[in-house]
Structure 1
Amino acid sequence: MRSHQKQAYGALFLCTNKALKKLAQDKRFVGSDRIGYLAGLHTWGGMLQYHPHLHLVIPGGALSDNNQWISSRQDLFVHTKPLEIIFKAKFKDAMKKAGLLVKIDPAVWKKQWVIDSQAVGQGQNSLRYLSRYVFRVAISNNRIKSIENGVIEFLYKDREKNKWKNMTLDAMEFIRRFLQHVLPRGFMKIRHYGFLNPNSALSIEKIRELISLIHDIIALFTEIPEREIPGIKCSHCGHDLNFMFFVKPEPRCRPG
């Protein structure tokens, strides 16, 4: 990937999109492939090591064929295990089409690839976290502690212990690590897909209306009434009716 960045990084974005849409179309997850999300490319870890990966922020739902909002589960968008399998297969195929498959160690395809998915509520924390990296380079000036006698000392965060530590590198190694994160000229590291793409046929304002509408309807029909329903009598015994539970309609039933 380091030697063929434009092809490999482009494949990361493309194959992620294809894999997500394939799984989202499954009715066990969302039921439509008309999803929307933003994706950001990172190539570094805390110690400036080479670690290309994508961060995605995905709204929990999709648009139906007739432009209605379909919500995903609150705790899940798609399962990560099938997403790993589908993405890996598509990425391998993309590398083959690019003529790069022979340059990749076959053991790579036997390893488990890491996909992490977390429900984050309304998403402000994810956007705030990701926004700190959008226009940054691999290391900021405030992490560099000292530059003396050809040695650079900088801070990095140990994720396992959740604490900051010091690392020292000689100048040439520091420059080598830094320069491997310079992207190809003109490469877009932040991309918007589906209904979050600026060229989407539906505006973000219209999608907000659709989401608000469906939540208003759900609230209307799931409002818990008083336990007793005064004025409504049982036709058999004559007593007031009591609310017990809602009955989920059969899939063939449609409102109206």
Structure 2
Amino acid sequence: MRTLCAEEKYLGARPGMLAVLHTWGQNLHYHPHVHALVPAGGLSFDDQRWRRPKYKNYLVPVKALSRLFRGRLVAALRQRYTNKELVLPPGTSLRNILDAAMAKDWVVYTKEPFAGPGKLLNYLGRYIKRIAISNDRLIDMSNDRVRFRYRDYADNNRSKVMDLASEEFIRRFLQHVLPAGFCKVRYYGLLAIRNRSRRLQLCHRLLGRRYQPSAKKSWIELLIEVTGQDPRLCPDCKSGHLLVVDHLIPKVGSRAPPRLIRRSDLQQLKPTTPTL
């Protein structure tokens, strides 16, 4: 994307991109792919202009993007093999595999966010802290079997029920647990972490808009936004709201029940050191 957008015939500017790794499908099979969100334009290399796409309905031609992606990926695989970082089964010819891959047309799927950027961000946001399946899709867990709902994209997106042995369900689920420290969300170009705030302010100014960073939301606001459920709502009458009266603070190094702490005492609390 950066290479094509840098060319004057396409954009002639520095683009940005937000990429989210997604490893599963509805049936929990291993299906790694990346969702990328790209602004419709870019910042000129002299930081003086916001440049809009040369084309009416797209940023860069999808055929050019597909061919460039194919070439870059195949070249990276060849380099990994040369550096002895790629292991193949005995009798396998990497050259034949990659030559066959280069002979095919690859497809990079791009489309306009028809529901709007906000909806798309919410869609991607749901996958950042979740893994594979949500609780509301689980139907039954009994007799060492797990049943859950899924959508069959190959059958007109119909809703179906899958029945798996518990071991197979766990195997599929654990495929999507990423290694510790692995970065699931990455930012590129003008959205890169370094200097992002300055560049976003500059982009807003060039577009004639006021830059207003979104305020940090509380855990209650985030929970309502994601689940639609208010944790403060009374579970009995469903209309009144619960109020925080006291906080129970566990005593460090003690297994006894925590002592009751009044809200007025919270500011006076000091860290305690366990007695050995």
Instruction: State the 1:102 CA deviation.
Output: 5.3
Q: Of the candidates 67, 73, 91, which is equivalent to residue 85 of structure 1? A: 67
Instruction: State the 1:95 CA deviation.
Output: 2.5
Secondary structure in 1 matching 2:109: coil
Deviations 1:71-99 (A, max 9, x none): 11341011222212211221122223333
Q: Which residue of 1 aligns with 2:129?
A: 135
Instruction: State the 1:198 CA deviation.
Output: 2.3
Could you list the runs of 5+ residues in structure 2 that have no partner in the other structure?
89-93, 210-276
Question: Residue 37 of structure 1 contacts residue 59 of structure 1 at CA under 8 Å; is this kept in 2?
Answer: yes
Matched residues, number:
193
Instruction: State the 1:119 CA deviation.
Output: 1.8
Question: Residue 84 of structure 1 contacts residue 113 of structure 1 at CA under 8 Å; is this kept in 2?
Answer: yes
Deviations 1:177-224 (A, max 9, x none): 1111111221101011111122126331221111227xxxxxxxxxxx
Q: 1:150 to 1:108 in 2, by over 3 A?
A: farther
Deviations 1:118-155 (A, max 9, x none): 12265122112211111110111211111111111111
Query: Following the alignment from structure 2 to structure 1, what is the Cα–Cα distance between the partners of residues 102 and 29?
Result: 21
- When the two chains are superposed, the root-mean-square deviation of aligned CA atoms in Å is 2.2
Query: Following the alignment from structure 2 to structure 1, what is the Cα–Cα distance between the partners of residues 71 and 120?
Result: 28
Q: Which residue of 2 aligns with 1:179?
A: 174
Q: Which residue of 1 aligns with 2:147?
A: 153
TM-score by length of 2: 0.64
Alignment of 1:58-69 (within 5 A): 58-67=38-47, 68-69=49-50
The reply to whether residue 119 of structure 1 matches residue 101 of structure 2 is no
Question: Residue 149 of structure 2 contacts residue 161 of structure 2 at CA under 8 Å; is this kept in 1?
Answer: yes
Alignment identity in percent?
A: 37
Query: Following the alignment from structure 2 to structure 1, what is the Cα–Cα distance between the partners of residues 22 and 189?
Result: 21
TM-score by length of 1: 0.68
Q: Which residue of 1 aligns with 2:4?
A: 23
Q: Which residue of 1 aligns with 2:270?
A: none
Question: Residue 16 of structure 2 contacts residue 192 of structure 2 at CA under 8 Å; is this kept in 1?
Answer: yes
Q: Which residue of 1 aligns with 2:224?
A: none
Q: Which residue of 2 aligns with 1:205?
A: 201
Question: Residue 23 of structure 2 contacts residue 30 of structure 2 at CA under 8 Å; is this kept in 1?
Answer: yes
Query: Following the alignment from structure 1 to structure 2, what is the Cα–Cα distance between the partners of residues 74 and 53?
Result: 28
Secondary structure in 2 matching 1:203: helix
Deviations 1:25-79 (A, max 9, x none): 23332122x1111100011111011111110111111111221110113410112
Query: Following the alignment from structure 2 to structure 1, what is the Cα–Cα distance between the partners of residues 101 and 87?
Result: 12
